[in-house]
Structure 1
Amino acid sequence: MERPLLVYTTFPDAGTALSVGEDLVRLRLAACVNVLPGMQSVYAWKGAVERGSEVVAILKSREGLAEPLCAALKARHPYETPIILHLPVSGADPDTAAWILAETAGGTGTEAPQESPTG
């Protein structure tokens, strides 16, 4: 069974993170995107130390979608150089892993989402 993959990224605000997250879920590149607001960041950028408010987004996907997920995330991300970290999962509850695989089945980043059985 293909292993799950977590992707860590940050956004300037929750609205942007949720909008991008919804696109990625609709494209079946991620099964879920958790958005955690209220983060304060201190970071080096172009030779200066900066501070800012951000939100964290954790994307639940699978290893086989790492490249198309990264490309779709970069294409939608407002940052010049977005932080995109792939966090391999060494283990997962079998039901969780099966759900992630089922919800990302057919995900390539180029196709429309499939209709659910209930419409």
Structure 2
Amino acid sequence: MTTPTELLIVWCNCPDQTTATALASGLVKEKLAACVNVLPAVQSIYHWEDRLETATEVPLMIKTTVAAYSHLESWLQNQHPYTIPEIIAFPVTHGLPSYCNWVRAETIETQA
């Protein structure tokens, strides 16, 4: 069972660097995430609308809390240019306590 103060890493791919940077900045400004890493471009291969697709995408690694996740997901889905953006979350099971506390403090406004 998770608690609202537990941490999550959220993964989201973007179509390009400009979109990734804008989404990352928005998530931090809105206090939905404490930090977002904009990672180097990756090649994605997937099925979409009955076709095999290949695309270059820019991944985001988003640090947030369970309490902020629902709002983060909604905000990201509304801001993202993809019809169905990849938004998946992984629980953080261990971490440096002072870093984890910082993430909680930076997302505190969404935990009310």
TM score, norm. by length of structure 1:
0.86
Q: 1:73 aligns with which of 52, 76, 80?
A: 76
Aligned length: 108
**Structure 1: which 4+ aligned runs deviate by more than 2 Å?**
none
Aligned residues: CA RMSD: 1.3
Contact kept, 8 Å, 2:67 with 2:110, in 1: the verdict is: no
Consecutive unaligned residues of structure 1, counting only runs of 5 or more, are 109-119
Of 90, 93, 108, the match for 2:96: 93
Give, in whole Å, the separation in 2 of the partners of 1:25 and 1:8. 15
Give the letter aligned to residue 51 of structure 1: T
Q: Match for 1:15 among 14, 18, 25?
A: 18
Does residue 5 of structure 1 match 2:5? Answer: no
Residue deviations 1:33-73 (CA, integer Å, cap 9, x gap): 10112201111111111001001101000011110000000
Q: Which has the higher helix share?
A: 2
Identical aligned residues as a percent:
36
Q: Distance in 1 between matches of 2:90 and 2:37?
A: 15
TM-score normalized by the length of structure 2: 0.92
Unpaired runs of at least 5, structure 2: none
Cross-structure match for 1:115:
none
Q: Distance in 1 between matches of 2:34 and 2:10?
A: 12
